[in-house]
């Protein structure tokens, strides 16, 4: 299927690669379909491009590359919506990346609202961590390849 | 805004599917029990608001700016 995007032009993605986000990301409840696009081949940064809004895209990264001891608890309610009733097998946690203005500007990750993706089922949900020490703007250290 | 008084153990119902119970009141803290269907997720407002603002900001990352910042770090 062809997906028009304002950042990457029209992209061609197999329909079975579409990730469904039934509740949308927080603040974007109407956008429920996304695709994953590598920033560059081999890059740890992945774009999460909305299928039905060409302007809407987020950068994602594996939180363990930002904070090696990152840990979250996925509660039963979240597991249910991700169709993972018994275990977290196949679950990939990603976090959104932002450019935080400053001198110099910094690349930061939102560790407080991770996006949990059930990769085999192509199902995702943004999880809100309560009573968590994590920040929405955690500086990302330089990533060694 | 509708404002109601409730005692411990009492409940309010919102629509067909949402129930909010007053479980306990201690000093200035109220403990609430909430029953809601999965499509009505429940968040503490201050955490939700923080993530909402961060999402809005992160959704505006420019491809060229981002590419440049990554390059500078390499």
- For B51, the closest of A77, A80, A113 (CB atoms) is A113
**Does residue A32 belong to any structural domain of this protein?**
yes
Asked if residue A127 lies in contact with residue A107, where contact means CB atoms within 8 angstroms, the answer is: no
- For residues B20 and B50, state if they share a domain: no
Please give the pLDDT value at position A121.
94
| DSSP state, residue A25 | B
Q: Which of A75-89, A111-125, B44-58 has the lowest mean pLDDT?
A: A75-89
**Does residue A115 belong to any structural domain of this protein?**
yes
**Does residue A144 belong to any structural domain of this protein?**
no
Residue A145 binned pLDDT confidence (cut-offs 50, 70, 90): low
- What is the total count of domains within chain B? 2
Question: Is A77 in contact with B38 (Cβ distance < 8 A)?
Answer: yes
CATH of residue A38's domain is: 2.30.290.10
Give residues 8 to 47 of B whose Cβ lies within 8 Å of A. Answer: 38-39, 41, 43-44, 47
- For residues B24 and B50, state if they share a domain: no
Answer with the residue of higher pLDDT: B43 or B54. B54
- For residues B47 and B73, state if they share a domain: yes
Residue of B nearest to A24 (CA): B39
- For residues B35 and B48, state if they share a domain: no
- For residues B7 and B22, state if they share a domain: yes
Which of A45-83 are b and which e, b meaning 16 or more Cβ less than 10 Å from the residue's Cβ? Answer: bbbbbbbebbebbbbbbbbebbbeebebebeeebbebbe
Question: What is the overall mean pLDDT for chain A?
Answer: 93
A49-107: per-residue pLDDT in tens? 999 999 999 999 999 999 999 999 888 888 888 998 777 788 999 999 999 988 888 99
Q: Which residues of B touch A7 (CB under 8 A)?
A: 63
Mean pLDDT of B34-50: 90
3-state secondary structure of A78: helix
**Does residue A86 belong to any structural domain of this protein?**
yes
Predicted structure pTM score: 0.88
Question: Is A25 in contact with B47 (Cβ distance < 8 A)?
Answer: no
- For residues B35 and B69, state if they share a domain: no
Please give the pLDDT value at position A135.
95
Inform me whether the C-beta atom of residue A112 falls under 8 Å from chain B C-beta atoms. yes
Question: Is B47 in contact with A96 (Cβ distance < 8 A)?
Answer: no
**Does residue A145 belong to any structural domain of this protein?**
no
Angle (nearest 5°) at CA A64 between A70 and A39: 140
R_g of chain B computed on alpha carbons:
21
- What is the total count of domains within chain A? 1
- A24 has a pLDDT exceeding 90: yes
- For residues B4 and B32, state if they share a domain: yes
- For B47, the closest of A96, A98, A128 (CB atoms) is A128
- For residues B50 and B31, state if they share a domain: no
The boundaries of the domain holding residue B5 are 1-39
No. of helices (H) and no. of strands (E), chain B = 2, 3
**Does residue A134 belong to any structural domain of this protein?**
yes
- For A58, the closest of B39, B58, B69 (CB atoms) is B58
- For residues B52 and B65, state if they share a domain: yes
Inform me whether the C-beta atom of residue A77 falls under 8 Å from chain B C-beta atoms. yes
**Does residue A42 belong to any structural domain of this protein?**
yes
The boundaries of the domain holding residue A93 are 2-139
Chain pair A-B, CB pairs under 8 angstroms:
84
- For residues B5 and B23, state if they share a domain: yes
């Amino acid at each position: 299927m062809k997906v028009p995007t304002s950042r990457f032009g029209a992209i061609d993605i197999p329909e079975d690669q579409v990730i469904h986000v039934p509740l949308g990301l927080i603040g974007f409840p109407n956008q429920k379909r996304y695709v994953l696009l590598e920033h560059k081949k081999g890059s740890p940064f992945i774009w999460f491009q909305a299928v039905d809004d060409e302007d809407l895209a987020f950068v994602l990264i594996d939180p363990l590359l930002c904070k090696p001891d990152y840990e979250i608890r996925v509660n039963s309610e979240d597991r249910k919506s991700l169709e993972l009733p018994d275990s977290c097998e196949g679950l990939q946690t990603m976090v959104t990346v932002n450019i935080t203005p400053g001198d110099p500007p910094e690349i930061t990750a939102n560790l407080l609202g991770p996006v949990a993706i059930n990769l085999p089922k192509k199902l995702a949900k943004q999880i809100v961590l309560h009573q968590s020490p994590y920040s929405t703007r955690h500086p990302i250290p330089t990533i060694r390849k | 805004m509708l404002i109601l008084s409730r005692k411990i153990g009492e409940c309010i119902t919102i629509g067909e599917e949402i129930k909010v119970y007053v479980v306990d009141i201690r000093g200035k803290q109220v403990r609430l029990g909430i029953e809601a269907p999965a499509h009505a997720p429940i968040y503490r407002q201050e955490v939700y608001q923080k993530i909402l603002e961060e999402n809005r900001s992160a959704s505006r990352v420019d491809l060229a700016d981002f590419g440049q910042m990554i390059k500078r770090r390499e």
